[in-house]
Amino acid sequence: EDQVTQSPEALRLQEGESSSLNCSYTVSGLRGLFWYRQDPGKGPEFLFTLYSAGEEKEKERLKATLTKKESFLHITAPKPEDSATYLCAVQAANYGQNFVFGPGTRLSVLP
């Protein structure tokens, strides 16, 4: 059965304290893995698309990496404005345009 898990469920960091979020997936025929950021009461905001193992994408303090079984979102020197829920989603070959989302990691960055 295809599934996406994320860890940790919640993470509290001090400003400037770097860390990584994990997204593990089991899916037949991965077409793409996507990272989103969601603020309370808002829709998810697109961050990255990753297609193949070894691929990396960067944006400001965020870097996403992909292996055959998992993806990491590395946050370098986070700021309080990075506080949000980070969601990963997979698109499989037999899903069409359907995404399967993980439960998310709730990140809090304290000043």
Positions that interact with another protein (CB under 8 A):
31-32, 34, 36, 41-46, 49, 51, 87, 89, 91, 95-104
CB 78, min distance to another protein, A: 23
Q: Supply angle C-alpha 38, 99, 94, rounded to 5.
A: 170
Whole-angstrom Cα distance, residue 15 to residue 18?
8
- Closer CB to another protein, residue 1 or residue 14? 1
* Distance, CA of 56 to CA of 51 (rounded, Å): 10
Nearer to another protein, 41 or 111 (CB): 41
Cβ 27 to another protein shortest distance, Å: 14
What gap in Å lies between CA 38 and CA 27, rounded to an integer?
A: 24
